[in-house]
């Protein structure tokens, strides 16, 4: 097998990851959390609590207003002190539930159970039981856009293989790597739950070759016990962890345009999602914490385990604040992340950790002056979706959304590879992604 996917780049030399993958995960428990009622793709949630209510860690506080969302739970015990409306990163108005800790059972900790230390006998867990817990526990993908996981597993397609994305191909981010070092049994138990619930023959955990330490560790466990799990080590190449890229590189198959991987019998989950599934099913704790990498231009880069809703500025403060005056703060990694703040102090940074926040990255802001396209074709060469980004860019600038659609802008995975290589510094990924969003918006409107 060639372990190769179309396009892609080598965006960094790997030293960026060394900033934060050399220290154990730190646990942090804030006294206030601000939990957005939009934590995943699909429907936003509405509060099912009111100001003044007392909640315990794990209580349901938000339910999707229509099909396609995921439940949201209190991540600390305390009192609801405020419910306000705010705009999220995509400018959608959502409710934010603010909980003040009662200092009772609020510690952000992993549920400690046998499943953290050994393989669990899953024979008593039925598919229905696992899906019900997955759905109630508000499980979403922890590595990407946050697709509600139970919806993936309610497919009618026959699933043959589960791919577990342990590539963590985005530069700077190390939260998955550290999770795998510290929680290998919980992850394997979670992967076995995915195999069980899907009826798949096997799962393949896919690493990049910059994580051989943990890959070998997991391989030892799965081969000793004869588990239906394979370990695959892939070349370090961005965006190796993209769903379609992983399918192409590992299985040598292509997901047809406009279809989900389930259409060819494959489901892909992030390694952090496997750990969260084990917490939900075997640890009886909904998805209320996650590991976040805080890195880049901060004094003390690190990975933190925090309750969902922990405020960004507290985490930057814990990491010693910015080490540059020209800070650009990004939620996620440098390739696919969203800019949260340009310049300013970290005290002024607003917003909080959601289920899909893999990192807070501080970079030195360097102004990008776009110049005209020189038709070098580099963006087309690296696009893993096989698109011609410069053509879509022209169409998007002209406002010709129909042409963007004809050029398959909807297949863009927003990986940022095109912008990264463009010598004219054109904001290709931004405009292609915007065009994609507009196409989908128009399609949904016409369906309503």
Which residues are near ligand SF4 by CB under 6 A?
373-379, 383-385, 387, 389-390, 412-418, 421-424, 426, 428-429, 432
* Residue number with CB closer to ligand SF4 (24 or 423): 423
Q: Provide, rounded to whole angstroms, the least separation between the CB of residue 72 and ligand SF4.
A: 30
- The closest alpha carbon to 358, from 176, 190, 116, belongs to 176
CA 359, CA 335: separation in Å to the nearest integer? 12
Burial of 252 (0-12, 13-18, 19+ CB in 10 A): exposed
Q: Provide, rounded to whole angstroms, the least separation between the CB of residue 52 and ligand SF4.
A: 46
Q: Provide, rounded to whole angstroms, the least separation between the CB of residue 388 and ligand SF4.
A: 8
DSSP secondary structure string for all residues of 95-147: EEEEEEE-SSS----PPP-GGGTS----TT--HHHHHHHHHHTT-B-SSSS--
Query: Distance between alpha carbon 227 and the CA centroid of its chain, in Å?
Result: 26
* Residue number with CB closer to ligand SF4 (10 or 299): 10
- The CA-atom distances, in angstroms, between 421 and each of 349, 377, 390 are 30, 10, 12
Burial of 415 (0-12, 13-18, 19+ CB in 10 A): buried
* Residue number with CB closer to ligand SF4 (26 or 434): 434
Q: Provide, rounded to whole angstroms, the least separation between the CB of residue 19 and ligand SF4.
A: 25
Give the side-chain half-sphere CA count within 13 A for 374. 9
Q: Provide, rounded to whole angstroms, the least separation between the CB of residue 396 and ligand SF4.
A: 11
Q: Provide, rounded to whole angstroms, the least separation between the CB of residue 14 and ligand SF4.
A: 21
* Residue number with CB closer to ligand SF4 (22 or 259): 259
The residue length of the chain stands at: 448
* Residue number with CB closer to ligand SF4 (239 or 351): 239
* Residue number with CB closer to ligand SF4 (110 or 238): 238
């Amino acid at each position: 097998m060639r372990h190769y996917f179309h396009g892609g780049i080598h965006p960094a030399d790997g030293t960026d990851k060394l900033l934060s993958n050399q220290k154990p995960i730190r646990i942090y428990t804030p006294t206030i959390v601000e939990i957005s009622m939009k934590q995943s793709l699909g429907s936003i949630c509405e509060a099912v609590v009111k100001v003044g209510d007392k909640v315990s860690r794990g209580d349901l506080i938000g339910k999707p207003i229509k099909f396609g969302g995921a439940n949201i739970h209190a991540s600390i015990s305390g009192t609801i002190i405020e419910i306000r409306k705010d705009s999220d990163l995509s400018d959608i108005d959502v409710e934010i539930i603010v909980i003040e800790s009662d200092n009772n059972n609020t510690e952000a900790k992993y549920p400690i159970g046998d499943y953290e230390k050994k393989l669990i006998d899953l024979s008593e867990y039925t598919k229905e039981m696992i899906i019900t817990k997955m759905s109630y526990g508000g499980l979403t993908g922890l590595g990407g856009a946050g697709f509600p996981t139970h919806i993936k597993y309610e497919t009618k397609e026959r699933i043959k293989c589960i791919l577990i994305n342990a590539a963590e191909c985005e530069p700077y981010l190390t939260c998955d790597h550290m999770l795998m070092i510290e929680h290998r049994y919980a992850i394997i138990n979670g992967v076995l739950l995915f195999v069980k619930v899907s009826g798949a023959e096997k799962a393949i955990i896919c690493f990049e070759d910059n994580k051989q330490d943990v890959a070998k560790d997991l391989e030892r466990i799965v081969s000793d016990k004869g588990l239906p799990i394979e370990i695959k080590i892939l070349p370090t190449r961005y965006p190796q962890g993209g769903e379609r890229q992983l399918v192409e590189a590992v299985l040598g198959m292509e997901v047809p345009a406009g279809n989900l991987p389930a259409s060819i019998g494959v489901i892909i989950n992030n390694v952090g999602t496997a750990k969260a599934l084990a917490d939900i099913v075997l640890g009886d704790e909904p998805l209320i914490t996650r590991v976040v990498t805080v890195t880049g231009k901060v004094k003390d880069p690190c990975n933190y385990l925090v309750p969902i809703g922990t405020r960004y500025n507290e985490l930057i403060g814990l990491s010693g604040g910015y080490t540059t005056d020209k800070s650009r703060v990004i939620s996620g990694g440098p390739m696919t992340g969203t800019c949260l703040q340009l310049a300013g102090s970290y005290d002024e940074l607003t917003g909080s950790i959601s289920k899909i926040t893999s990192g807070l990255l501080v970079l030195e802001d360097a102004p990008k002056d776009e110049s005209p396209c020189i038709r070098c074709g580099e963006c087309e060469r690296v696009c893993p979706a096989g698109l011609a980004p410069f053509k879509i860019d022209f169409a998007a600038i002209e406002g010709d959304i129909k042409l963007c659609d004809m050029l398959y802008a909807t297949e863009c995975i927003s990986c940022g590879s095109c912008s990264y290589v463009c010598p004219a510094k054109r904001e290709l990924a931004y405009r292609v992604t915007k065009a994609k969003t507009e196409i989908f918006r128009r399609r949904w409107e016409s369906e309503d």
